Each structure stands twice: as C-alpha cells, then as structure tokens.
Amino acid sequence: MTGTPLPRLAPGSTIGMLGAGQLGRMTALAAARLGYTTHVYAPDAADSPASQVSAAATVADWDDLDALERFARSVDVVTLEWENVPVATVEHLRRFTAVHPGPNVLSVAQDRIAEKSFVNALGIATAPWRPAGSADDVARAVAEVGPRCVLKSTRLGYDGKGQARLDGGDGAAAAWAAIGGGKAGVEGIVEGFVTFACEVSVIVARGGDGAMVAYPAVENRHKDGILDVTIAPARVTPETAAEADRVARRIAEALDLVGVLAVEMFVTPDGAVLVNEMAPRPHNSGHWTMDACASDQFEQLVRAVCGLPLGSVERVADAEMTNLIGDDVLRWPELLAEPGARLHLYGKAEARPGRKMGHVNRLVPRR
C-alpha cells in the first residue's frame, strides 16, 4: 500500500510534541540534531524531561481548546510520545495542523480490545482473550480461555499496572477489584497466560508515502512488569525474526501509520509469534538504536512526520540496553567510568521506585 507523500518540512520548522516524558525528550534531541525545534504540549510539561530540551512548552490540559489551537497554530506538524492523548484532542488539533500518527491509529492503540480485534482481523494471532465488564464476566472468561490468565484494564495500563494474574476462577472477584473494576469507565480483558520462550518487539517507521523500515526483532526481559533489559538483536531463529518483522510491518500498513510503531510479541516454545500489544510511538525497547544504528528510532519519527526520507536502520553493532529504574540512577558515576557504556539520563529530579530515570547502552560486536 502506498500513500501520498507528506509535504516536506525543511529544517528550521517546528515540531509539536504531545506528551513531555523521556520519549519526547529524546525525539526533541533528534529533531534538534537535524535543525528542527520542538514545542511540547502536556498538562505536566513544566520542567519536564521533554521541555528541558525544547524551545517552547505549553502547560495545559488535554481539553483546553484555546490552548490547543494556539499550540497547533505555532507549529508545522504535531506528533506524540504518549498514545493515550484523548482522540478528541487530536481531532481538535487537526483542524489547524497535521497530526501524525492520526486519531484512527490512537483509537486502536488506546484500547486493548480494539487492538486485539484489529490484529486478529488481519489473521495475526494473539493469546486467546475475552472482554470482561464484571467479576462474573471474568469468572466466565477464565473458564473459556483456561485457568492461567491475566486480567488487564482495557485502557491506560503501562509498566504492568492495571493487571492481575489469575489461576482459576476463584480469584475473579479479587482480580476485578484489583484492576479497579466497578469504577466509572473501567473495563477489562482476560487473556490466556502465554508460557513464552521469550518476548520480542519490532519497531517499524513508516512515511506518508508508505515507505517502511524496521529494526531487527529485539529480546525484552521484564522485572516487576517493567522492561529491564533489551538484547539486540533477539536470540531467535531467522524464521521467527522474519515472522516478527512481517507482523509488525503488516500492522503498520493496515493502520496506515505515519510515524513509528512498536509491536510487542511473545515467542512460543515452538517459535511462533503472538502479538501482545503495540504502541504508535518510539518505545523503550528501541533505545539501543541511539548508539548502535545509523539512524535511531527518534530520528525516524522526525523524518516520518516531516516528510523526509526514512533513515537507514543499519546496525553498526549488537547492543544491550539496561533501564535505570528508581535508585538505579544513583549508579551514574560508575556507569560514566565504565569504558564503552553509553549513559542516557532523562533529567527527572526525583528517583521514585518504578520510575524510568535513564538507560545505558552497551555495544558488543555483531553476532
């Protein structure tokens, strides 16, 4: 599928960024390297990781229509680093400027049920799943998908939050309560638990003309529901790596994505790939590309939304990325002293437990 090339925005143009966290920061840094400036918009944009390195920041709510209009009129294109920006916000911005990725992509990626339905409709496998709107639904779903399963809130989950493990129907009421079931707007999805050999992700960049590039599948290890280490490339068979690549490209194409998409997948013991979830933005599992690839994932986002040719995903080395969570960041002096360790810190003042404070990339010769 090919699309219409986007208007090319020359260096010197301003990129609007929805969201003010570390992904916005690293995108703004990539933009600056190419001569673009960034204007961040978020309710929490004040002294944020992204605003610290951007030319401008608007601190306003997602439903502040006047602030959104002023922001949209002050930039040349809008992108985002957080897929949960309300669709109505993006619809409003689009009256004044282009927003990539668009509302159709966000509405799929914001809701686990919409996401899995979309993926399954493409003939791509996921864990078995059922929607659940009550504790009784959860118990019924457990009977259908099998006793070992995970109940997740359909919206706004991240880093393992909004999830409860189940082993049989007995825990249905407790699991439903644990994810906030019964509160306004909370809906659930029960997923069969996948006994995976490993977890992988593929990051695809796609331009308005339909051109695509994808980084090789990488292997992700989680600790306490949070990404801990990414090993690039993944230690899987060439067939599994090719299937993961095909799946991610197929989804990006079907979404008519302009920007960057990360697809998280489980690899089963027999090498099959099941999609877990996706994020239409740069992703923690792509941070290794900052030091190991010709163009990193953040630069790809800038290129895609500015109508530039996509960059090379060529890998100059293999890599291991380790997240610095909470107090891990206190190790910065020893990491700086370690030859070859590439330290990236996000400028967050307070090292709260579970908070992503930075990461370190270590390059190793290509396998």
Q: Which positions touch ligand ADP (CB under 6 A)? A: 127, 150, 157-160, 191, 193-194, 199, 222, 225, 264, 276-277
- Tell me how many degrees the CA angle 341-347-350 measures, rounded to the nearest 5: 110
Q: State the distance between the two ends of the chain, measured CA to CA, in whole angstroms.
A: 33
Q: Which does 309 bind (CB under 5 to 8 A by kind): ligand ADP, Mg ion, none?
A: none
Q: Which does 194 bind (CB under 5 to 8 A by kind): ligand ADP, Mg ion, none?
A: ligand ADP
Residue placing its CB nearer to ligand ADP in the complex, 305 or 325: 325
Residue placing its CB nearer to Mg ion in the complex, 115 or 264: 264
Instruction: Please give the Cα distance from 233 to 325 (Å, whole number).
Output: 23
Strands 318-325 and 356-364: antiparallel
Residue placing its CB nearer to Mg ion in the complex, 245 or 264: 264
Instruction: Please give the Cα distance from 227 to 304 (Å, whole number).
Output: 26
Q: Which does 158 bind (CB under 5 to 8 A by kind): Mg ion, ligand ADP, none?
A: ligand ADP
Q: Which of 167, 179, 191 is nearest to 135 (CA)?
A: 179
* Smallest separation, CB 12 to Mg ion (Å): 36
* Smallest separation, CB 24 to Mg ion (Å): 19
Q: For residue 39, list its beta bridge partners.
A: 16, 56
Compose the 214-253 pattern: x for residues touching Mg ion by CB under 5 A, - for all others.
Answer: ----------------------------------------
User: 284 exposed, middle or buried (CB, 10 Å; 0-12, 13-18, 19+)?
Assistant: buried
* Smallest separation, CB 165 to ligand ADP (Å): 9
* Smallest separation, CB 264 to Mg ion (Å): 5
* Smallest separation, CB 283 to Mg ion (Å): 9
Residue placing its CB nearer to Mg ion in the complex, 18 or 262: 262
Token pair, residue 322, equals 């380790």
Q: Which of 319, 204, 315, 199 is nearest to 258 (CA)?
A: 204
Q: For residue 57, list its beta bridge partners.
A: 40
Q: Which does 338 bind (CB under 5 to 8 A by kind): Mg ion, ligand ADP, none?
A: none
What residues contact residue 121 under an 8 Å CB cut-off, 6+ apart?
A: none
Q: Which does 3 bind (CB under 5 to 8 A by kind): ligand ADP, Mg ion, none?
A: none
Compose the 255-294 pattern: x for residues touching Mg ion by CB under 5 A, - for all others.
Answer: ---------x------------------------------
* Smallest separation, CB 218 to ligand ADP (Å): 13
Residue placing its CB nearer to Mg ion in the complex, 53 or 124: 124
Phi and psi, residue 51, nearest 5°: -70, -30
H or E stretch covering 312: none
User: 46 exposed, middle or buried (CB, 10 Å; 0-12, 13-18, 19+)?
Assistant: exposed
Q: Which does 222 bind (CB under 5 to 8 A by kind): ligand ADP, Mg ion, none?
A: ligand ADP
Identify the residue whose tokens are 């040349």.
Answer: 76
* Smallest separation, CB 106 to ligand ADP (Å): 15
Interface positions with Mg ion (CB under 5 A): 264
